[in-house]
Structure 1
């Protein structure tokens, strides 16, 4: 690769293009707006000829278009001729997709290039479904969403996927005990066959914390832990605003803490009899919690045992990471009174207890976070200058 200098014309063109595109798109994805050439010159501090050339190039790529005259803009009596041309970022130039593949449902959410949601579809799937059946349900859900929104598949620029398990960089699920046939599944490779764009696979709890940081309870907070509280709880963490995956993608797998010499399994913790709870699924757990809220003493003790285990697991993570905010998601986020015991126990165990809040994204968190993955990928493509180095 040749050495680049500040006078390299390809690098300069790329930098100038990025600066103009950022100005048109806006720093906030909801704030894309139309600007005149004069406004672009002022915003970018580039020369007018440079801006004119960049804009024409971006129009050719389809990322920028001339905006119609603003009917609300008051005319200027002294101005002669047509109004100044205005240009806008074409958010509709491509689409992004976020997909959740979970134990009981698959969901898909579609957006334009600013992350503005265009539609969502969710479908149930059996907990016992094979990997092939689950993947086919996910493909069918995506196809239905594209039909409903009248979006062509070839306009997709990136697809993000959230799934339980330890996920490697290439999208392979190294360990996934929550779904049948998931361990060792080349999930990214299997899904890439259905798309002509990058497919990025992430652990579901990691996707969840991205969603809360983007559009949920963690907006404006850069040190966050989100716990997806289920039968085997997992956690996603942001440290300094960056997702912390760990060396092998296994960070936050607090559901495995019971392997460290503890004898009580979730089946026994949640049992209201002398036998382990079977089948151990979310519906069965929901029944136990409903009985507890109804005053059943044995169910109440089972619920207390489960929450105590969850608190201990969460406290270990809080002690290690010292987050500003702890978010509780997953089906446990719907439990009455889950926050008070969490706060009380964290006060006991943690040197500096974090704020505790329920997820604002709820059951949409994983798919929304997967969409954020896709948006991050496209933004790196649109605004990176490294691509010029290959020239």
Structure 2
């Protein structure tokens, strides 16, 4: 066994970076290719975590020799994934070689294809969004019209940012309904003609790369756990409000889509009343106007908000009783109402739950689905392209 294999097999720190890899103590003489892949994986993962680091620092983190780290970084630089930074000025003696991950080596697009609009976000490989694009869509638009709006919006987002379409490594889209593991919408109640749409297959043609699709509430929950209100929680129920009401579930910090992708779709039960409550809230004026009036003391508006919160709490409490989450995140467009909606929701949940979870507003509001789609696309890139 090589020195680097022995170091990796015996070190504790690198175990985090090599998690899930085959044990290096089992490597044989013919496994040099596998060893190079493992070395590349742990080095790239460490560099992304550090942001920028010297050879010595990376060697210390990964347990690899300086020579091995240097060879890996030179190869990654040739592939365009890392770059060598200029030496620090004023340093005596030979300056240390410093490297940084190239977040601009590729990009991902995350999208929400919703009932009344399209939201697209272009992000680099660190997940930093560099461009947004939005477009309105009629609620009764045909599937073809909605898909065309999504195509135009995604392409305009990329083109407007000055990024070549070939640099987009993956696209992910979130949408209402039950989405299976292949990215096909197996059931959609709120969007006309949406059941059966191969969303992942179609989205892959828009920018010429790999495409994925998932339920919108699930992706919004993923976004909150990644960088939002639920980043420190493991078991979470996310309730998406706005044009439609849906829910996503995190168990142990991971999405729980269920056997067919239908987990959390409690709103499909008419007895829960989510659809009726959403319609009643905006029967005479917009949701924003109702929330504003309730905030200003209008009793009728406050009554309508309370009724809406009560119906939300019935479905949310059923999920909370099943999962017993630490946190319930209220997201989507209506989450911007703040305490005028959160307070009655908390009150009704406390009445219905054995032990009500903490209730907080989403960090991202109506951008959560697109950001969750960014995270889904990044997961694919990291696993399938970067190999980390």
The answer to whether the superposition gives a TM-score over 0.5 is: yes
Whole-Å separation in 2 of the counterparts to 1:341 and 1:314:
13
Q: CA deviation at 1:238?
A: 0.9
Q: CA deviation at 1:269?
A: 7.4
Q: CA deviation at 1:355?
A: 0.6
Q: Give the conservation status (yes or no) of the 8 Å contact 2:185–2:197.
A: yes
Q: Give the conservation status (yes or no) of the 8 Å contact 1:269–1:305.
A: no
Q: How does 1:153-302 map to 2 (within 5 A)?
A: 153-230=165-242, 232-259=244-271, 266=276, 270=280, 277=283, 284-286=286-288, 300-302=302-304
Q: CA deviation at 1:300?
A: 4.6
State the partner residue of 1:144.
156
State the partner residue of 1:322.
324
Of the candidates 75, 82, 91, which is equivalent to residue 75 of structure 1? Answer: 91
Q: Give the conservation status (yes or no) of the 8 Å contact 1:266–1:306.
A: no
State the partner residue of 1:361.
364
Change (3 A) 1:377 1:225: same
2:382 equivalent to 1:379 = yes
Of the candidates 75, 84, 106, which is equivalent to residue 66 of structure 1? Answer: 84
What per-residue deviation string (whole Å, max 9, x for no partner) do you get for residues 80-134 of structure 1?
xx52322221111111111111111111111111112211111111112111111
Of the candidates 27, 32, 35, which is equivalent to residue 51 of structure 2? Answer: 32
Q: CA deviation at 1:56?
A: 2.2
Q: Which stretch of the first structure deviates more once superposed, 49-58 or 174-183?
A: 49-58
Whole-Å separation in 2 of the counterparts to 1:219 and 1:142:
28
State the partner residue of 1:84.
96
Change (3 A) 1:36 1:323: same
State the partner residue of 1:388.
none
What per-residue deviation string (whole Å, max 9, x for no partner) do you get for residues 288-312 of structure 1?
5556566666555443332211111
Change (3 A) 1:215 1:143: same
Whole-Å separation in 2 of the counterparts to 1:120 and 1:70:
36
**Whose helix fraction is larger, Structure 1's or Structure 2's?**
2
In structure 2, the residue corresponding to 1:338 is in which secondary structure?
helix
Q: Give the conservation status (yes or no) of the 8 Å contact 1:270–1:288.
A: no
For normalisation by structure 1, the TM-score amounts to 0.85
State the partner residue of 1:21.
44
Query: For this pair of structures, how many residues does the alignment match?
Result: 361
Ranked by relative contact order (alpha carbons within 8 Å, sequence separation 6 or more), the top structure is 1
Whole-Å separation in 1 of the counterparts to 2:306 and 2:156:
42
State the partner residue of 1:131.
143
Whole-Å separation in 1 of the counterparts to 2:271 and 2:206:
38
Change (3 A) 1:231 1:58: closer
Q: Which runs of 5+ in 1 are unaligned?
A: 386-391
Change (3 A) 1:258 1:60: same
Q: CA deviation at 1:145?
A: 1.5
Q: Which runs of 5+ in 2 are unaligned?
A: 1-23
Whole-Å separation in 1 of the counterparts to 2:293 and 2:204:
44
For normalisation by structure 2, the TM-score amounts to 0.86
